[in-house]
Each structure stands twice: as structure tokens, then as C-alpha cells.
Structure 1
Amino acid sequence: MVTVSTTLSAHEIGSKCIEAVQRIFPDFQPGIELESEEFPNHRDAIEISQEGIATDLFLELLSEQRILDTALDAMSLNMGTTSTADSTQYTTSFLISRQAALMGKVAFVLESERTVGGVINVSMESPDLTLWIQEATWHPGRRDVPRSVGDELSMRADGAVTEWFDKKGRATIHPDD
């Protein structure tokens, strides 16, 4: 299950915020009527959310932008599990820049970052979520450099990259090959 949410602050134009989400997740229909969009408005910040969102366009954009490895890392950075007596569910959540989304682009945001224009919060839950993320972000380059959730090539929690080459240009991955 995929849940998408965003918070509309009092100073933001609600229709633009919703449009940004819909440019990545077109079936996002929050079902709320926004009050006047004129400044100054007197509404409090409100969170809008919808469950059961399709990820087709989101995944297509990741491929078009050629950020599938980044997506693998960003989407699995907060991977966790929830267990019940009969099953284990894998869960994850990640943030996308609403400003980039308004232009039809996906830009992942770390939880420690403050970003202009707000964020889209995406939560996912499934018994086979790890496998799904790996398959959804697969590309032909993985034949040469296999990747998986949480592997030694994953970006660090602070967003720092794992270097594939040292300062002299020698490969640091698969040095035995």
C-alpha cells in the first residue's frame, strides 16, 4: 500500500501544492475544499493524505531522469518492519521535493534537510517491499554492478555517497575482478 501526503502551510497556495503532488502521483485526489486562496488567509497548516496511490508515473519519472540507483537508496533509507502473529510487513517512507514535483521532476529530500516549497511524504507498506523496490529501480547497469537494498554501495543516512573510485581513479568496488 502506498500513502502520499503533504502539509499545506498557511502561506502556501493549496491548489499549487496539490498540483505538485498530482504531477508525480496523478490519482492523488485529497477530497478537500480549500478556503480562499487570497492573501492573507487565516487557515492553519493542514495535512492532506490519500492511501492506495499508484506509482506508475513516479517510477517512469525515475527512469527518465536516470536516478534509479538514487531512488533505490532513498526509498530504502528508512526501511523497517512491523510483525504480527501471521505476517511481517516491510515499511518505508521518504520525502520528495514539492518544488521539483511542480516541474514534473523527482528530487529526494533527506529528513534532516529544510527545503523551499515543502515536501511530499510517501509511505509504503508490503510483505515484499524490499524485493519490489529492487525490481522497480532495476536497470541494465545492474548486470555489471549488482545493487540491493542496504548494500555496501548505498548512500549513507546523511546523503553522502559511497565512492566507487579512489582519488587515483582505481575502482573501490569489486577490486578482485
Structure 2
Amino acid sequence: MEAHVTVTVRPRPHENLSCICRAITRLFPDHSGITDHSPTFPITTEADEIVHKTNDSSFFFERMQQQRILDTAMDIMALKSDGNRTSFRLGLAAAEAGKVSFVLPDDPIPPGNEMIVVIEGTELNHWIEQNTWHEGRRRHPRYIGDERTLTKADD
């Protein structure tokens, strides 16, 4: 199965667009990082959304493996999954440091803004389980919807 990933950031007027692009690139290296302008003071309009589309999420999953957060990733990615599409939010400030930091669904926008990630594809839940698999699951099996799944009550 091939998954299509869309990353979206809605820049706020005070944010530096090149810093936002750098943050996206730290988790999704195939992002071109282009910014078409640097705003000048006073800023009177909001910047357009920065959108990155990719079919390569391997580096993103490598980062989560390095941070040892694959079980959390599976739970967060599955929270809004309908089997073909899911979405979740990541802290932009953490991404700028090359870290994956999930923002819970009902939490406000974190300091430093957020990126919204949408993943689409057929058999998406199976794809999520495969991509978040790690050796620890040999001894402690996990799957989407099991008794250890993160729920809204765990917030």
C-alpha cells in the first residue's frame, strides 16, 4: 500500500517562513523548503498555508523510532483514522529541532505553532501498524484498538 502524506502549516503573521520550511524539512527531507518572500513590517496580511505533499514518510518514521515513540505514534495516528484517511498534529517548534511531538486532538495550538499531517491510502490502519512496528512487539504485541490504546480519557 502506498500512503500519500500532506503536511500543512498555517503561518501566523509574526512567524518566519524560512523557519517553518526548515522545520518541515527536518521531518520530511524531500520538502523543497521554498519561500517566495520575506514579509516586511508592518505585516498587514496573513501568509498563505505552506503545504508539502509526499509519498515518502520513511525519514519521519525513522525519527519516531529513534525517539522510541512508535507505540504512541500508532495510537495517535489511529485516533482519527477511518481506514482510508487520518490526521494528527505535530508541534512545529519540536520539528525545528528534528523531534516529533504529537499534539493531542483537543489541545490548543502549542507555542511555536503546529503542523497538520494528513495520511491517505487504502488499508491505512494496517499500514500504520506496519510502519510503527518494532522489536518490542514480539514480547508485547500491540495493534490498533487494543486494551493499551490511547483514548480521549487518557488526555
TM-score scaled by structure 1?
0.79
- The aligned runs of 1:21-170 (5 Å cut-off) are 21-29=24-32, 32-36=35-39, 38-81=40-83, 90-114=84-108, 115-157=110-152, 159-160=154-155
Q: Matches of 2:122 and 2:26 in 1, distance apart?
A: 28
RMSD of aligned C-alpha atoms?
A: 1.7
Asked if structure 1 preserves the Cα contact closer than 8 Å seen for 2:21 and 2:34, the reply is no
Greater CA drift, 150-159 or 5-14: 150-159
Q: Which has the higher helix share?
A: 2
Asked if structure 1 preserves the Cα contact closer than 8 Å seen for 2:5 and 2:54, the reply is yes
Q: CA deviation at 1:79?
A: 0.5
Greater Rg, structure 1 or structure 2? 1
Kindly report structure 1 stretches of 4+ aligned residues shifted beyond 6 Å.
Answer: none
Identity of aligned pairs, percent? 37
- Match of 1:104, SS state, is coil
Cα 1:10–1:64, aligned 2, differ >3 Å: closer, same or farther?
A: same
Q: CA deviation at 1:32?
A: 4.8
- Match of 1:17, SS state, is helix
Q: CA deviation at 1:52?
A: 2.4
Cα 1:106–1:21, aligned 2, differ >3 Å: closer, same or farther?
A: same
Q: Matches of 1:95 and 1:159 in 2, distance apart?
A: 17
Q: CA deviation at 1:21?
A: 0.9
Higher relative contact order (CA 8 A, sep 6+): 2
Q: CA deviation at 1:80?
A: 1.1
Q: Matches of 1:159 and 1:35 in 2, distance apart?
A: 41
TM-score scaled by structure 2?
0.89
Asked if structure 2 preserves the Cα contact closer than 8 Å seen for 1:59 and 1:136, the reply is yes
Q: CA deviation at 1:158?
A: 5.1
Task: Give per-residue Cα distances to partners, 1:112-154, cap 9 Å, x unaligned.
Answer: 2120011111101111211111011111111121111122211
Structure 1 gap ranges (5+): 82-89, 161-177
Match of 1:16 in 2: 19
Q: Matches of 1:54 and 1:48 in 2, distance apart?
A: 18
Matched pairs, number: 151
Asked if structure 2 preserves the Cα contact closer than 8 Å seen for 1:78 and 1:92, the reply is yes
